[in-house]
Chain A
Amino acid sequence: MRLKLSVALLLSSLALLAQQVPVQEFKLENGMKFLLVPRKGSPNIAAGWIAKVGAVNERPGITGISHLFEHMMFKGTQTLGTKNIEEDLKIGLQLDKVRGEIRKEEQVLTQQLREGKISDVKDPKVRTPRHQQLMTEFEALNKRQKDLMIKDEFDRVYTSGGASGMNAGTSEDFTIYFINVPSNKLELWYWMESDRLSNPVFREFYSERDVVHEERRLRTDSTPTGRFNEQFNALFWKSSPYGWPVVGWPSDLEAISREDALAYFGVNYAPNNLTACLVGDFEPAQAKALAEKYFGRLQRGLHDPEPLRTAETPQMGEQRMVAYADTNPEVRVRYHTVADGHKDEPAFLVLSTILNDRTGRLYKSLVLEQQVANQASSAHNGQKYEGYFELRGVAKPGKTPEDVEKALYKEIEKLQVDLVSERELQKVKNQLAAANFRGLQSDFSLMTQLLIFDSLRGWQIINTDPPKLQAVTPQDLQRVAKTYFPPEGRNVLVFYTKKKEAGGGQ
């Protein structure tokens, strides 16, 4: 694709750099939206779709279901993955029933744990004979279903078709599915994606739940700071659902049932909640015809998913969490700010760029001049419904997290008192403009950006947001620093290094 760029040649200013990504958009009658960006070159197509649902749309009891559900979308359909669909569905129902009975037994054990009568609900010795019997039945049913399965057929069909990079991701705000296919396999993509959206079967539900549990152990439990970060986030958000982890609380992961997943699918994966996108070597007319042919069979949901109800309640005082972990002494300071798309968001993005990197204020001041920190950075995270700004710094040996914290507040104070110079502002605007269109080069990255933008406020913001960054003034920066960073709005996470037992922990 060729972008229309008007590059300002005045000195090194990029301020007038404008980009227009030409997107062809259409909507099917069932409400599903398509975004097409044909680009000649290599015989490939980056293809994906997004469901406007994520962890923020969950509730206590089913936290983690968006992510678990993402895993289940690779488990085959009524057409793919089994030799005998009738038998497969029957076994699926029996599995749910036995699992439901096991769940009742587990609840009894959980109550015994609460009362201190047992110490480990997983210990086979605490199970009743009936519980043990149900587990044996469950294993036997699993085995019967497995014997009927065509293992991982969904993956096999794509892989042998030369597709690559198939994956998916879940965030608080959305769930995205993507892949690269050779340009002659466009119809295969339509077949596969519309098939799993119209008749998925959540085979291996319970073993996949264990896989997700392993993912949680890998990313959160077994890293030096994973569980601390999770708890700090839970502390930061008081009422908002951004407080629970995308991967879910362990107790919910254990309890989510296949029925929960089906109900969730019915509302959130209806075509009126989906956008698809193709970027690469294809003919738009053919892409449109195939969209009607394959995705036209999806049926619109009776109603749109419920809008989010619970907003964050204002913070009344500073919150601190002091942690001892296998990590360097570090401090993080987080403030509530604004959601994605708020008129003040561009100022925060400029602000964090002013603070970051080799020529940023935090490195210059905290690392080079004052020498209180060995690393320092900041970030704005404007999510769909809420947002925050976070500063962090790792204390230099001999300094404390509190020294770093004070130095961070000093930098905030400077932003509140003094206007940022024009040259400093121009520098970060140049960087932001260059970064914006570096991100448009790869078909795959353009496809994912268009989908994510569309799930937030509409894909058009890929063209309309960058000029807003260029319009930020020194006064805007000063105003947001004064408005959003009051002392009572601080949320502070302090890490001290955990002392090791003698002998180095062998």
Chain B
Amino acid sequence: MRAPILVLAAAALVCSESAYPQSVPLPRHPRELKYQPLSYTPPKPADFRHKLSNGATAFLVEDHDFPLINVSVLVRTGDYLDPAGKIGLAGLSGNQMRSGGTKSKAPAVFDEEVAFLAAQLNSGIADFNGQASLNCLSKDTDAGLALLVDMLRNPGFAEDRLKLAKNQILQSMERRNDNAPEIEQREFRRLVRGDKHFSSQQSTKVSIESITREDLAGFHEKYYYPSNFVFAVSGDFKTSELLAKLEKVLSGWPNRTDAVPPVPKPNYTLKPGIYVVDKKGVNQGRVRMGHLGVTFDNPDHIALNVMNGILGGSAFTSRITSRVRSDEGLAYQAASIFQHGTYYEGVFAAVFQSKSPSVAQAITIVNEEIDRLQNSKVTSEELTTEINSLIDSFPRRFSTASLKAGQFANDFFNKQPDDYWQKYRDRVRAVTADEVQRLAKKYLTPDRMVILAVGEYDAMAKGNPDKPQFSFDKLSGGKGVTKIPLPDPLTMVYP
């Protein structure tokens, strides 16, 4: 063996003999470094907000560094508005607005115009909103806006494109049980939200096949009108000129008066336990374990961010990552999330993927870390790291014009108070170790948790022969696990 100072010895093999060239001694540790204070005031949304005459709201942030313009639109609609029997209609409507041409332009003609302008034009519908966006050269602003508005206002929903999209959806539907991450997401949602809530409902072959061109047109008609839009515009334009352009392209587009239905809240009490989906042909188990989180209007939600950062939200400086990944080498990804939902409670979950035999061991470690957070105080170093991180990385939220406009539009859409970000850092700074422990006790309920593992059941249950102290049996207190069968991918009927 070589001399004890292996690193230097090895480096000397390939390095020249010269000593360090500089004479100024370097600070021995980063804590000896001194920094200029960083003063930063977040931008105020009201300074960028404009109400258009037909009711739309727009946030405009100029940025003349590049001759580009970026327009995005949030629309009050969502997958939650899928009618019974037509699950998948909202999603299809959103993407067919982009794919099916417009009333005056066949799809091929419309697509060719977008492509020749080198513009990017998109549309889609997610759980709680519709989204559309345009990015083009600022010299093409008029032509780009005309295409965007034509798509939003007069979608053609061409039959052949709808037929193709349905065929593509049905083809990928057949693969629903092949991809472990997809199974994990789907089954965890069912365990936490129950089967009845829209968020855990899945389209089927029948529901997709039943969707017609008229359904798309009807869905579009109900939700796409100016007072239902929030615009976020950034890039190379003059605010007054762009406002006039928006007024012009949206003029004569009547609003509807009937209100968009509210997002339904789930009504389900989860059943704690260990659940396993036996997925063949993989050598890793994917685990997601947790329960409900909080809503956005819960005053504790910022302190809960700090708590979760220490538990598993801040990568390597958080406890779950540190123990599951760096101490034990049991996972590449190991983390936790604590969501605050806009419309109903978000989810708290710890997630990791580990080789099948070490799944039970890694679950045990996560349980220990939740327990530790509840029964002892976090160190002042952990707390300071988390608080400093949130405060010092704060300006990055607003670092570009498009981030600013996007943040403002999102906050407005979600009815977040205007002074939220002005007060944010003070609220973070106020979090104490006592507070973290109080929240951990109040909001983490490890005995009321669902633990889902997707992987080869036999290999996960067998465990690691070198570590017989870890097993599903021990984890469940002898109650055993509940196996979740895979559904028929086309009907979503579970055997």
Contact = CB atoms under 8 A, between A and B. Distances in A.
A294 B332 contact: no
A128 interface: no
A155 B322 CA distance: 11
Interface in A174-225: 180, 182-185, 187-188, 191-192, 199-201, 204, 206-215, 217-218, 221-224
Interface string A1-32: 11101010100101000000000000001100
Contacts of A266: 10-11, 13-15
Interface string A328-354: 100000000000000000000000000
A137 interface: no
B283 interface: yes
A438 B70 CA distance: 11
Given A270-B14, A270-B15, A504-B177, A217 B116 contact: no
Interface string A289-327: 000111011011111000000000000000000000011
A505 B486 contact: yes
A301 B15 contact: yes
A483 interface: no
A457 B470 CA distance: 52
A139 B65 CA distance: 57
A155 B11 CA distance: 24
Contacts of A503: 495
A93 interface: yes
Interface of B: 1-2, 4-8, 10-11, 13-16, 18, 20-22, 24, 26-30, 33, 35-38, 40, 64-68, 99, 108, 111-112, 115-119, 135-137, 139-140, 160, 164, 167-168, 170-172, 174-175, 177-180, 278-284, 314-317, 322, 325-333, 353-355, 381, 384-385, 388-389, 391-396, 398-400, 465-466, 483, 485-486, 488, 495
A206 B328 CA distance: 10
Contact of A263 (B4, B10, B353): B10
Contact of B282 (A9, A222, A396): A222
Contacts of A481: none
B261 to A, nearest CB: 33
Contacts of B331: 211, 214
A102 to B, nearest CB: 13
Given A164-B396, A182-B392, A506 B485 contact: yes
A289 B119 CA distance: 43
Contacts of A124: 465-466
A35 B448 CA distance: 54
A73 interface: no
A300 B6 contact: no
B22 A292 contact: yes
A74 to B, nearest CB: 7
B140 A12 contact: yes
Interface of A: 1-3, 5, 7, 9, 12, 14, 29-30, 41-44, 74, 78-80, 86, 89-90, 92-93, 96-97, 123-124, 146, 151-152, 155-157, 159-164, 166, 180, 182-185, 187-188, 191-192, 199-201, 204, 206-215, 217-218, 221-224, 262-263, 265-267, 270, 292-294, 296-297, 299-303, 326-328, 357-359, 364, 367-368, 374-375, 394, 396-397, 426-427, 430-431, 433-435, 437-438, 440-443, 503-506
A184 B38 CA distance: 6
Contact of B22 (A2, A218, A297): A297
B333 A218 contact: yes
A90 B164 contact: no
B465 A262 contact: no
A262 B330 CA distance: 24
Contact of A438 (B135, B167, B330, B394): B135
B118 A199 contact: no
Contacts of B5: 89
Contacts of B6: 89, 92-93, 262
Given A210-B329, A506-B495, 6 more contacts: A89-B6, A185-B392, A188-B35, A200-B7, A301-B14, A443-B399
A217 B167 contact: no
B329 A214 contact: yes
A7 B15 contact: no
A19 B279 CA distance: 51
B101 to A, nearest CB: 11
Contacts of A1: 65
Nearest to B163: A371
Contacts of B15: 266, 270, 299-302
A396 B392 contact: no
A136 to B, nearest CB: 10
A437 B389 contact: no
B116 A267 contact: no
Contacts of A327: 175, 178
Given A146-B327, A214-B330, A358-B115, A159 B167 contact: no
Given A42-B398, A210-B330, A328-B171, A89 B4 contact: yes
A123 B465 contact: yes
Given A12-B117, A74-B316, A297-B21, A207 B327 contact: yes
B329 A156 contact: no
A96 B7 CA distance: 13
13 contacts: A3-B65, A157-B30, A159-B314, A182-B38, A212-B332, A214-B355, A217-B353, A222-B284, A222-B353, A270-B15, A427-B116, A434-B118, A506-B485
Contacts of A435: 118
B117 A430 contact: yes
A293 B24 CA distance: 8
Contacts of B35: 184-185, 187-188
A207 B353 contact: no
A301 B11 CA distance: 9
A187 B389 contact: no
A43 B111 CA distance: 40
Contact of A221 (B8, B283, B354): B283
Pick the 10 closest A-B CB pairs, nearest first.
A162-B392, A210-B329, A207-B329, A42-B399, A434-B118, A326-B178, A155-B316, A222-B282, A299-B15, A266-B14
B135 A97 contact: no
Nearest to A3: B66
Contacts of B385: 156, 159-160
A497 to B, nearest CB: 8
A374 B168 contact: yes
A224 B5 CA distance: 46
Nearest to A434: B118
A7 B284 contact: no
Contacts of A90: 4
A506 B486 contact: yes
Contact of A431 (B112, B115, B283): B115
Contacts of A270: 14-15
B389 A160 contact: yes
Nearest to B40: A43
B233 to A, nearest CB: 15
Contacts of A394: 171
Contacts of A200: 7
A350 to B, nearest CB: 14
Contacts of B170: 397
B68 A207 contact: no
B7 A199 contact: yes
A161 B385 CA distance: 8
B357 to A, nearest CB: 9
Contact of A293 (B1, B26, B281): B26
B399 A44 contact: yes
B1 A97 contact: yes
B464 to A, nearest CB: 9
B178 A214 contact: no
Given A9-B139, A152-B316, A199-B7, A214 B118 contact: no
Nearest to B27: A191
Contacts of A182: 38, 392-393, 395
A488 to B, nearest CB: 33
Given A221-B284, A302-B15, A211 B40 contact: no
Contacts of A265: 10-11
Contacts of A97: 1
